[in-house]
Amino acid sequence: MNETVLTLTNATIRFGGLVAVNNVSFSLQKGDLFGLIGPNGAGKTTCFNLITGVYRPTSGVIDFKGQNIGGLPPAKIATLGICRTFQNIRLFPALSVLENVVVGAFLRHTTSLASALCYLPPSIKETRALRQEAFELLEVMDLSDVASVRSADLPYGKQRRLEIARAMATQPELILLDEPAAGMNQKEKEDLQSTVRRIRDDFGKTVLLIEHDMRFVMGLCERIFVLDHGEEIAQGPPEAIRNDPKVIEAYLGEAV
Ligand SMILES: Nc1ncnc2c1ncn2[C@@H]1O[C@H](COP(=O)(O)OP(=O)(O)O)[C@@H](O)[C@H]1O
Ligand SMILES: [Mg+2]
């Protein structure tokens, strides 16, 4: 049976005279691998910012598991089970790879108001458990061999994987990836594709991702939404998107 995780209904946001996202509607079922594509400036990252509470929608509804989360604070949305990575990588550069993931796991454990107010540090036992959990995630993300390396010293492709590991450590139900394959070589992209598939298949996550590499998106996502100038121009399975004349004109240039 399908279980709806996220539904945008006529989501709209204006910045002054610019309607960056205009009446966008789509729905993700549990376990979907859903792609969001479109030219630069189409409004893709702004959609992520609406879903994660960075911006409040001007109008429309963003429903996460039956609750309208539009305009809730980002920290609240994170505790409800949505986590993201950023188009421009945001790691803690001076911390080790392992520590970056521990921070993600730690955030999950300190989100209760009581512990935040008391600012209770985790016990040694808890810390050990968090480190163990973080290390297991590094293994999944194929980063355990660099666990003690400063994250700033990692090559770019591994930094992107680390951001995903940190997001996973918050144990989200829905994970948003903003251009996860950007700057990766072909081999890294192929590895990332299988990792993202594992995140869904083995961990049961629902994944919404923005990506420009059409081979990557079409080979991974089962459904794709195409945005142009803030508006939907198409949504459907990869074969339909690939052959849609409107998509080809606005974005693909030629059939891929
Ligand atoms: N905070 C903001 N203030 C004003 N304009 C913004 C803001 N955020 C995004 N925009 C504009 O919204 C449009 C969509 O941006 P964005 O969502 O980043 O595009 P994409 O991720 O598809 O490349 C762009 O024209 C961008 O300049
Ligand atoms: Mg963007």
Residue 44 lies in a domain: yes
| Residue 118 within any structural domain of the chain | yes
β pairing state of 18-29 and 231-236 = unpaired
**For residue 252, what pLDDT is reported?**
80
Residues 29 and 137 in one domain: no
Residue 174, pLDDT > 50, answer yes
Residue 64, domain member (yes or no): yes
pTM of the model: 0.91
68 and 140 assigned to the same domain: no
Nearest ligand 1 atom to alpha carbon 55: 1
178 and 73, same structural domain?
yes
Question: Does 60 share its domain with 131?
Answer: no
Whether residue 68 sits in one domain with residue 38: yes
Does the residue 154 lie in any domain? Answer: yes
Distance in angstroms (rounded) separating the CA atoms of residues 14 and 24: 13
206-210 and 174-178: which strand pairing? parallel
| Domain-ending residue, one of 145, 171, 197 | 171
Count of domains for the chain = 2
Segment 169-184 shows an average pLDDT of 94
pLDDT, the chain, mean: 91
59 and 179 together in one domain: yes
* pLDDT tens track for 87-124: 888 899 999 999 999 988 877 765 454 554 555 566 67
Name the residue of 12, 13, 14, 18 to mutate for ligand 1: max ligand atoms within 8 A of Cβ: 18
Split at pLDDT 50, 70, 90, the class of 200 is: very high
Q: Same domain, yes or no, for 95 and 22?
A: no
Whether 87 contacts 179, CB under 8 Å:
yes
Mean pLDDT confidence for 146-169: 94
Is 44's C-beta closer than 6 angstroms to any atom of ligand 1? yes
> How large a percentage of the chain has pLDDT more than 90?
79
Confirm whether 243 is domain-assigned: yes
Q: Is residue 148 part of a domain?
A: yes
Q: Are residues 154 and 165 in the same domain?
A: yes
Residue 180 located in a structural domain: yes
117 and 225 share a domain?
no
CATH number assigned to the domain comprising residue 13: 3.40.50.300
- Say if residue 254's pLDDT is above 70: no
165 and 244 share one domain: no
Which residue has the least CA distance to atom 18 on ligand 1? 45
Element (H, E) at 139: helix 124-140
Residue after which a domain boundary falls, among 115, 145, 171: 171
pLDDT exceeds cutoff 50 at 142: yes
Asked, for residue 196, whether it belongs to a domain, the answer is: no
The pLDDT assigned to 119 comes to: 56
The rounded Å distance from CA 204 to ligand 2 centre is: 26
pLDDT in tens, 219-238: 999 999 999 999 999 999 99
Q: What is the pLDDT of residue 107?
A: 73
Q: Are residues 64 and 181 in the same domain?
A: yes
pLDDT for the residue numbered 113? 47
Mean pLDDT of 77-96: 92
**Cβ of 46 less than 6 Å from ligand 1:** yes
How large is the average pLDDT for residues 143-162?
94
**Helix (H) or strand (E) run with residue 117 in it:** helix 113-118
Token pair listed for 83 = 């986590």
- Is the same domain home to 6 and 77? yes
d(CA 131, CA 138): 10
Q: How far is ligand 2, taken at its centre, from the CA of residue 31, in Å? A: 23
Residue 251 confidence (pLDDT): 86
Residue 129's domain comprises 91-171
Ligand 1 atom closest to 46 (CA):
17
In the predicted model, is pLDDT for residue 42 greater than 90?
A: yes
